[in-house]
Structure 1
């Protein structure tokens, strides 16, 4: 495919992520990302040959395709129709073999028949059976947990499809410096600073950081506690430069505490 042909496809598509999909062709999304730079920062190995990777909340697929470039066999999971995001356009441009599964993180699990018409999953999504009995060496879970009304269930479902020695890479909003994500909370700065070391989560009632789909925003301490309670061992955690987001890696420790 020529650069001009790729550019025409990009121009005809609605994007969320903005990145250089191929040299000289940039997607015009509202969320700028450099997939290689981000995964390097999070400690994802440069070579993933022979590994199976799951990208949860893939959206346009920027990170899925970077995992594939590194050699992984990739499954991209999202509740969005890949024809309504940039995913299928990007897949066509890149000649990718990534496989898209349209379903919720809540439906993950080796005991789940994901092709069934449950939880809003269309019955014609044949690829949903792809993760029924398979496990992953690596899972990306970036920018998702605060969008969920049941974040603890999601951590447990993710663990259920990880191999015993798999690595989970996570990232998302934290409440420690909430006013940096949502200026409407600036007047509560002193209150937030007084509690930000506590293992608590802010219930955003569906509205936080100017996004109507945010629900529970944990402090860093709370996020750590969520992971431990769900049966993970946190390998590392890092704070984004503006302190409003945290990223890290975790391994399976054991059974959840429930």
Structure 2
């Protein structure tokens, strides 16, 4: 289903299990070392298939925003991509650091808030993964505008959405406190029309969509026309 873990390493399986056990919480459930599966609650293998990433990613620059335990970062690195990661947490606060140690793969890990990316030297990327992050952000439009500015190829956005919320009208529902799934980090859930409109307004065209339950995947690329001035007006970026 996805690339297997390397067959040989200097670590033995017992030590690998001990490293996995040192992580307080795993979200992703995946084989992080031959014969060692993390105790996550979410198996992301099906989503990897839905992304339709190239089997050979040699030479591609990829950005993984909010990577959690690094399942997707790991798989792209194994396919030859140069992977940059952005997360507001230190790598050892979640499973990413353990994954990096157990796979011996190299990543450019940037601990920063997504909204701080414009002030960094992070560069531009052929593929940007923005998976399971959008509805955790208080300003969805600003976030998408920042992400779009980093992408020169494929932008893959996967998020919670509201399929039954006013179809045909671009709206989003705001969730107060922890009223969505008991999680205080959830803010906005857009409907399909709202998500598509935001993606277009940051200068991207939608090439492919997939949805299941209350989740949706948008596969987009830069549009034929330049990004509208709307975002520049919104965030004070017009020249004086």
**The TM-score by the shorter chain falls in which range?**
0.7 to 0.9
In the alignment, structure 1 residue 82 sits paired with structure 2 residue 91: yes
Q: Which residue of 2 aligns with 1:54?
A: 63
Q: Which residue of 1 aligns with 2:234?
A: none
Q: Structure 1: which 5+ residue stretches go unaligned? A: 115-128, 178-191
In the alignment, structure 1 residue 173 sits paired with structure 2 residue 167: no
Residues in 2 aligned to 1:234 and 1:98: alpha-carbon distance in whole angstroms? 29
Residues in 2 aligned to 1:206 and 1:98: alpha-carbon distance in whole angstroms? 34
Aligned length: 216
In the alignment, structure 1 residue 31 sits paired with structure 2 residue 42: yes
In the alignment, structure 1 residue 140 sits paired with structure 2 residue 110: no
Q: How does 1:1-258 map to 2 (within 5 A)?
A: 1-14=11-24, 15-34=26-45, 37-109=46-118, 112=119, 114=120, 129=121, 131=122, 134-163=123-152, 166-177=153-164, 192=165, 195-207=166-178, 208-240=180-212, 243-253=213-223, 254-258=226-230
Deviation at 1:12, TM superposition (A): 1.3
Residues in 1 aligned to 2:81 and 2:117: alpha-carbon distance in whole angstroms? 20
More strand by share: 1
Contact 1:55 1:141 in 2 (8 A): yes
Residues in 2 aligned to 1:45 and 1:147: alpha-carbon distance in whole angstroms? 28
TM-score by length of 1: 0.79
Residues in 2 aligned to 1:45 and 1:246: alpha-carbon distance in whole angstroms? 20
Runs of 4+ in 1 over 4 A off after TM superposition: none
Q: Structure 2: which 5+ residue stretches go unaligned? A: 1-10, 231-240
Deviation at 1:257, TM superposition (A): 4.6
Deviation at 1:209, TM superposition (A): 2.7
Deviation at 1:220, TM superposition (A): 0.9
Q: Classify the secondary structure of the residue corresponding to 1:213.
A: coil
Deviation at 1:176, TM superposition (A): 1.4
